[in-house]
Structure 1
Amino acid sequence: MKVLVIGSGGREHALCWKIAQSPLVAKIYAAPGNGGTHLENKTVNIAIEATDIKKLLDFALTEKIDLTIVGPEDPLAAGIVDVFQDNGLRVFGPCKAAAQLEASKAFAKDIMIKAGIPTAAYGEFTDYESAKAYVHQHGAPIVVKADGLAAGKGVTVAMTFEEALKALEEIFIDSVFGEAGNKVVIEEFLQGEEASYLAFTDGKTVLPMVTSQDHKAVYDNDKGPNTGGMGAYSPAPVVSPELFDRVTKEIAYPLIKTMAKDGIVFKGIIYAGLMIHNNQPKVLEFNARFGDPETQPVLSRLKSDIIPVFLACTDQTLDKVEIEWSDNPTVCVVMASGGYPRDYKKGYEISGIAEADKVIGVKVFHAGTADKDGKTVNTGGRVLGVTAIGDTLEETIKTAYKAVEKINWTDVHYRKDIGAKALRRLKGE
């Protein structure tokens, strides 16, 4: 098989790495890929951006691509799956209508209410004054979300009234998120601990992956602005086996059944960002693709060939598939450019990646990197995802940071507490 992987992040590198392990695959094209994807077995980068649907379609038709995997949310929201399918190509990911689950927080809230899925109380607004009045009425802490896609940066957890107003001003008055901020969803602040639930679906069957937990805030102890994710680990001890089953039965299945009633067949990845309090889950948000950086630790635990799973999702035969997972924990530490998620400088040479990759149990996934004159340089905010697997969580965290310490570039930044919450929970603290 020839496989096309669309995207350039750490998620896409992890997908290329996992797909390359399949005996069913002869060649992988990463579009556009990054400084690490083309180093994987069977993989070459092609210089087509993830949002250039016409060029991607022409390439897939010319090269007779057997399966396309869409990584990022933007091409999904733009309808790339519909375009590929209309041209007789097999593609993994939700159609444009289903991708609204991530592309519009208001749409997602509407589906959750229809499906009886537990979520935060909320209001929707298209102007600053109405939104400000709602915040005045409800007070802080409160959560302000740009409705559209904002690369994980459109959410503000405002602990004070002033923070909430500043977020509203950035969205409505300063237009920092462009059209994504034409509408705002304001939610009640939920107490608890976050976890990520990812599952494959063919629109009829849900096949869950192992649990994970992302770290959104840029600084240790969940301080600072939200990012696309500063690290993740799997499994997430906050999700008990009983709670995991409940999420599948009470959230994932009602989601796809409700969408089906509206004439939308959801094929691809269900990603539910959960807030868990007193063993009760509520959905913070849905995404319509693999999470990043959750994909790196989750796929590192996948023992099965991933290609038959992708094919079963597209063919609606997922009920015939079983997946085997490693029991070993995994940890991914994201190394970012200094200043991210705001302004940062690009083009710095990165040293030590090869040495970090030699640490037993470690795989370094590239995200915002590129090759320049034979050297690897940073080209994005989130640059590398240093991922480790080990026998115990404590050992795995140490292994990941041992590898992190071997890598360096000007102004590098990373959190030093990835996995600490899980350790405390396991120790009963």
Structure 2
Amino acid sequence: MVKVLLIGDASREHAIADAFARSIHEPKLYAAMSRRNPGITKLCKRTGGDVAIGNIDDPNFVVKAALDFHVDFAFVGPEEPLFHGIPDALEETGVPCVGARRSMALVEMSKAFMRRLMWKYKVPGRLRFKAFKSLEDAVAYVNEYAESVAIKPARQAGGKGVKVIADLQVYLSKEKREVKAEHVKTVYEKHMAVYDDIDDKVLIEEKVEGPEYTLQAFTDGRTVLPLPAVQDNKNAYEMDIGPETGGMGSIAGPGWLLPFLTEEEYKQSVEIIQSVVEALWKETGVRYKGVISGQMMLTALWGPTIIEFYSRFGDPEACNVLPYIEADIVEISEAIIDERLNTIKISFPNIATVVKAVAPKGYPDHRDLARGHPVFIDEEAIRRRGCKVYYGSLDERSDETIVTAGSRIAEIVAAAPTIPEASEIAESCVQYVRLLDGWGVFHRSDIGSEVLLKKRIEQAQLIREIYHYRLSRRLIGKAIDWIPGRGKIEYEF
């Protein structure tokens, strides 16, 4: 019997655990978690496995759990254990791992590394950027250049700290410079203050616009097996307003595409991911074994364009695809480890899926207020309505009380022939996630709605017309500026 160790404790990891529990190989499932996720714990017990609670970013803790449980291989869910070298430590002790080694996970951990890699190997979908190690240099840059930019932490910081600033009105140029400089300071002094594992601190990129989507894929470093495209919704509140979160819900389908994405754009997106996997091999001599995800945007500059990479599944995006994958995750994992992923075939039913996250009030900006609230989730009622539920930022205490841990409580997944139909089914189940002490919860009812879907389709069509025009004029991969006194300046990407 196969024994598997899962590392992680959020909704994404619950979806991964559920996929292992459905395997025809009936593996024993074990989990290393920072807190006791009740859904993952239940699956471990059901399959005859067990759990270990500790610091999942600590290689010593995870390696000890793997050896104590005598597992055959491990599967890493979240990004921070990858950044801390958990797969490296496991494999050094003889435990195979599905999860990017640290040198591979840099493609997510360091946004500057990712941008430099794409430019060095001329991967399509790249953006102009500047990376800064010092606050003074970054502030001097934004004070000198009047550009529309995206200002970000140079490291993956849980989705925090990204601000896009349009600088188009000359009469507001002074005010825009001040806003840019202030946000550079915020990124440097707040969002990057807790990280000392990369040199670059602030990343400034050219501003692009368009609908975003995520393309997730399994890879063994040789073969890339893509999954259906998914669109996450990052903003906390209806119609894309409010602070950015880890993701308030996501849509996929019907089938492999999204309603605003063409088959050609999907293929181009896959080619970008394949090119980056090959570039990582050329750069490091290490095979990427795990999951890689392109966080993409359809832009007038390139069409499919990389905003960032994940070195793992997205959350909630994993919940759109893993419950419906028509392939065995044990067989996929073993093929990744043995570098024979080319022997695996993956298919999906021609359905649409919608995920809706339910979060405690206080999330995402005041997580201290969102912690410690007792939770009740009526799983049976959710199942009766045809949905699945994956437990998120929760902790099951020794007295079996389940309390919030500060982030999203749970993710509800529904499937139907169309996205709006799936949205309505998921919406009907939100009522079954509640807090017992009267503290409030919130979710986005508009995810997957006809109104929001129409907005995405119209935006994509406008962008598509522009980049098709640029393509017809051989302007893809080029930028043209006009500078007074110098005239037209053309940049080759």
User: Normalization by structure 2: what TM-score?
Assistant: 0.82
- AA matched with 1:36: G
Offset, 1:136 = 3.1
Mapped contact 1:301–1:327 kept (Cα < 8 A): no
Q: Is 1:86 aligned to residue 127 of structure 2?
A: no
Partner of 1:170: 186
Mapped contact 2:236–2:245 kept (Cα < 8 A): yes
Q: Is 1:303 aligned to residue 326 of structure 2?
A: yes
User: Deviation string for 1:307-364 (max 9, x for gaps)?
Assistant: 1111111111011110121211111111112121211321112234335423432111
Mapped contact 1:352–1:406 kept (Cα < 8 A): yes
User: Deviation string for 1:138-190 (max 9, x for gaps)?
Assistant: 44642111112311213223457354333212222345642268511111111
Q: Is 1:379 aligned to residue 405 of structure 2?
A: yes
Structure ID, larger Rg: 2
Q: How does 1:385-396 map to 2 (within 5 A)?
A: 385-396=411-422
Mapped contact 2:74–2:97 kept (Cα < 8 A): yes
Mapped contact 2:353–2:414 kept (Cα < 8 A): yes
Mapped contact 2:260–2:456 kept (Cα < 8 A): no
Q: 1:363 to 1:170 in 2, by over 3 A?
A: same
Q: 1:253 to 1:427 in 2, by over 3 A?
A: closer
What CA RMSD, in Å, does the superposition of the two structures yield over aligned residues?
2.1
Q: 1:196 to 1:34 in 2, by over 3 A?
A: same
Worse-matched range after superposition: 166-175 or 311-320? 166-175
Q: How does 1:276-425 map to 2 (within 5 A)?
A: 276-277=298-299, 280-344=303-367, 345=369, 346-372=371-397, 373-409=399-435, 410-420=439-449, 423-424=453-454
Q: Is 1:260 aligned to residue 281 of structure 2?
A: yes
Q: Is 1:38 aligned to residue 45 of structure 2?
A: no
User: Deviation string for 1:383-422 (max 9, x for gaps)?
Assistant: 1111111222111000101001232221212122212376
Worse-matched range after superposition: 109-118 or 35-44? 35-44
Write the distance in 1 (CA, Å) between the matches of 2:455 and 2:331: 35
Write the distance in 1 (CA, Å) between the matches of 2:358 and 2:65: 33
Q: Is 1:133 aligned to residue 158 of structure 2?
A: no
Write the distance in 2 (CA, Å) between the matches of 1:424 and 1:300: 26
Q: 1:158 to 1:416 in 2, by over 3 A?
A: farther
Partner of 2:126: 119
Write the distance in 2 (CA, Å) between the matches of 1:198 and 1:403: 27
Q: Is 1:106 aligned to residue 112 of structure 2?
A: yes
Partner of 2:237: 219
Worse-matched range after superposition: 364-373 or 6-15? 364-373
Write the distance in 1 (CA, Å) between the matches of 2:458 and 2:187: 41
Alignment gaps of 5+ in structure 1: none
Q: How does 1:188-227 map to 2 (within 5 A)?
A: 188-227=206-245
Write the distance in 2 (CA, Å) between the matches of 1:364 and 1:140: 44
Write the distance in 1 (CA, Å) between the matches of 2:350 and 2:455: 18
Write the distance in 2 (CA, Å) between the matches of 1:264 and 1:359: 47
- AA matched with 2:424: K
* SS state at 2:433 partner: coil
Partner of 1:229: 247
Within the candidate set 254, 264, 288, 1:242 is matched to 264
Worse-matched range after superposition: 191-200 or 256-265? 256-265
- AA matched with 1:242: E
How many residues are paired up? 428
Write the distance in 2 (CA, Å) between the matches of 1:148 and 1:90: 27
Mapped contact 1:353–1:406 kept (Cα < 8 A): yes
Partner of 1:270: 292
Mapped contact 2:382–2:389 kept (Cα < 8 A): yes
Write the distance in 2 (CA, Å) between the matches of 1:12 and 1:88: 23
- AA matched with 1:125: F
Offset, 1:285 = 0.3
- AA matched with 1:320: T
Partner of 1:157: 164
Alignment gaps of 5+ in structure 2: 168-175, 460-493
Mapped contact 2:58–2:86 kept (Cα < 8 A): no
Worse-matched range after superposition: 25-34 or 347-356? 347-356
Write the distance in 2 (CA, Å) between the matches of 1:375 and 1:414: 23
Write the distance in 2 (CA, Å) between the matches of 1:374 and 1:83: 33
Write the distance in 2 (CA, Å) between the matches of 1:224 and 1:167: 17
Write the distance in 2 (CA, Å) between the matches of 1:174 and 1:15: 33
Q: 1:61 to 1:355 in 2, by over 3 A?
A: closer
Q: 1:44 to 1:220 in 2, by over 3 A?
A: farther
Q: How does 1:56-71 map to 2 (within 5 A)?
A: 56-71=62-77
Q: 1:122 to 1:428 in 2, by over 3 A?
A: closer
